[in-house]
Chain A
């Protein structure tokens, strides 16, 4: 089966905007995409090194009440994202075990880039208290000052390093 084509970006944007709006109205908060790693580390940390974790400025906040840090709206929402992405890919005939890359780079190198970029993003999402979903998209729609600064800097960071890693894509 030939995969379906992607949606028109404006229509996809309207759909995404409605999901975000529903999330504001129903749950009282926007969507997110980076709480799962942080909170998983909090859970592991509280088992392996309870005192150090409780004293940590980031993890301590997740551990201060006795509920499981993974019992959190954004964590549950991220599991929903996985399910939605999976159903979306299957139903569009796009599910395929492969590596997305340009023609000039080996699969192995591309995976190193993906890992390196992931590590940078994990660090960055920790520092900024959120990512493109939680800060730029959700905070942006709520007009939060810092979220707009974050969003502009994401584009600045992406564009300023794009030339250096062009071998991956073109």
Chain B
């Protein structure tokens, strides 16, 4: 399936230019919502003004329902969308700390920009603080191995809530819409209780009469529900596509060396390209129908790793059994060649780095058939996967 969106650009510069435009509207909207004002933002955490919650969740609902509706009608190709990878523990701890920083400074990173450019000195100072904090983090991760481990702890690749809860995306979205709607009604109630004690931040529009506000929240939720239902309706016959999870070449290499019996590697490239070689033990599967009977014979939860030449996230064919777990090799065969088959030179004298290089070279030797130096052992000794060798670009935020 290839949709029209996300748009493809002729060159990187054109793509970057859209960033200025999107950022402009983002900053403008944040300013108009009152989010250049630290007092307005902080009021969220004292229940005086729930605007942060209301704006954020309304925005999430609009973007989420809009996006997945367009996915349902086939004009958006989610495989080309950048989805934040999950590193559960890093995000849980980082999220908590960010919340602490938010209430201490009264601003979050994006809104500190708006605050600063509204002339607010506290916004400027918070933004300077973010540079300091980023620097502290970058240095600390070199100094404290435990922080480096936390940075990759709970790695789940590209994981989405529908997969985690085992429901289709439309069902999950309806659940979020209902909960956010209830949350907004709750926010209205909370604000009324606390506004008796506290003045709202000036410039905040006067609360609309109770009935109107409730009606507004309700019609809003209903409208979103209706759109969501429309998006959901064509969905049942079309089974939600299986989203394969990314697996790094080195990680696959280690699993192959360990001889994991519940692991199958499939080469999706056309036969002509296979001539250059394929991942050890892989089966050619350019024809998805031909592979089907074999896949159906596999045990429950067998891991199936597929790869192409360059590592584009593939669409798993609808007919393939859903009882298996699908992965795709990041970087494809090219990534396997450069990341596993090619020995590398150490770049620094850091002990951990050298151990990693040595480990990779042992793996390279194992797969390229060259004799492993040191001893006659055929497989390198298992080492705890570093997991830190993620080479993905960090595009988020």
A113 to chain B, nearest CB (A): 6
Contact B136 A119 (CB under 8 A): yes
* Residue interface mask B289-316, A partner, CB < 8 A = 1: 0000000000000000000000000000
Contact A101 B39 (CB under 8 A): yes
Q: Is B367 an interface residue (CB 8 A)?
A: no
Q: Could you say which residues of chain B place their CB within 8 Å of the CB of A147?
A: 84, 86, 91
Contact B23 A12 (CB under 8 A): no
- Of the listed stretches B155-163, B261-269, B327-335, B370-378, chain A binds B155-163
Interface secondary structure of B, over-half rule: helix
Contact A37 B130 (CB under 8 A): yes
Contact A129 B117 (CB under 8 A): no
CA distance A54 to B160 in the complex (A): 31
Q: Is A66 an interface residue (CB 8 A)?
A: no
**How many interface residues does B have (CB within 8 Å)?**
149
CA distance A142 to B64 in the complex (A): 6
CA distance A61 to B140 in the complex (A): 16
Q: Is B324 an interface residue (CB 8 A)?
A: no
Contact A131 B63 (CB under 8 A): no
Question: Which of the four size classes fits the interface of chain A?
Answer: 35 or more
CA distance A54 to B109 in the complex (A): 26
Contact A129 B62 (CB under 8 A): no
1-49 of chain A: CB within 8 A of chain B: 3-10, 12-35, 37-38, 40-41, 45
CA distance A69 to B113 in the complex (A): 20
Contact B62 A18 (CB under 8 A): yes
Q: Could you say which residues of chain B place their CB within 8 Å of the CB of A17?
A: 58-63, 66
Q: Is B15 an interface residue (CB 8 A)?
A: yes
- Given contacts A129-B87, A140-B60, A19 and B25 within 8 Å (CB-CB): yes
- Given contacts A130-B397, A153-B95, A153-B99, A78 and B113 within 8 Å (CB-CB): yes
CA distance A38 to B109 in the complex (A): 12
CA distance A32 to B19 in the complex (A): 10
Among A33, A83, A116, A130, max chain B CB count under 10 A is at: A33
Contact B95 A128 (CB under 8 A): yes
Q: Is B169 an interface residue (CB 8 A)?
A: yes
Q: Count of A-B contacts with CB under 8 A?
A: 613
- Of the listed stretches B121-129, B231-239, B246-254, chain A binds B121-129
* Residue interface mask A62-82, B partner, CB < 8 A = 1: 101000000111111111111
Q: Could you say which residues of chain B place their CB within 8 Å of the CB of A161?
A: 99-100, 103-104
Among B18, B46, B184, max chain A CB count under 10 A is at: B18
CA distance A16 to B60 in the complex (A): 9
Closest to B102 in A: A158
Closest to B97 in A: A124
Q: Could you say which residues of chain A place their CB within 8 Å of the CB of B33?
A: 6-7, 9, 12-13, 16
14 example contacts (A-B, Cβ-Cβ < 8 A) are as follows: A6-B40, A25-B67, A52-B348, A82-B117, A89-B119, A101-B39, A118-B129, A124-B97, A128-B91, A143-B64, A146-B84, A157-B100, A159-B99, A162-B42
Top 7 A-B residue pairs of the complex, sorted by shortest distance between their CB atoms: A118-B129, A122-B133, A80-B23, A134-B397, A157-B99, A117-B105, A13-B58
User: Which residues of B are at the interface with A, using a C-beta cutoff of 8 A?
Assistant: 5-7, 12, 15-34, 36-40, 42-46, 50-51, 54-64, 66-67, 70, 76, 80-88, 90-123, 125-138, 140-142, 147-148, 150-151, 154, 156, 158-164, 169, 172-173, 184, 198, 203-205, 208, 216-217, 220, 347-348, 350, 353, 388, 390-397
Q: A125-B397, A131-B108 are in contact. List 8 more A-B contacts (CB 8 A).
A: A29-B395, A30-B63, A81-B24, A94-B36, A94-B203, A132-B56, A135-B91, A137-B60
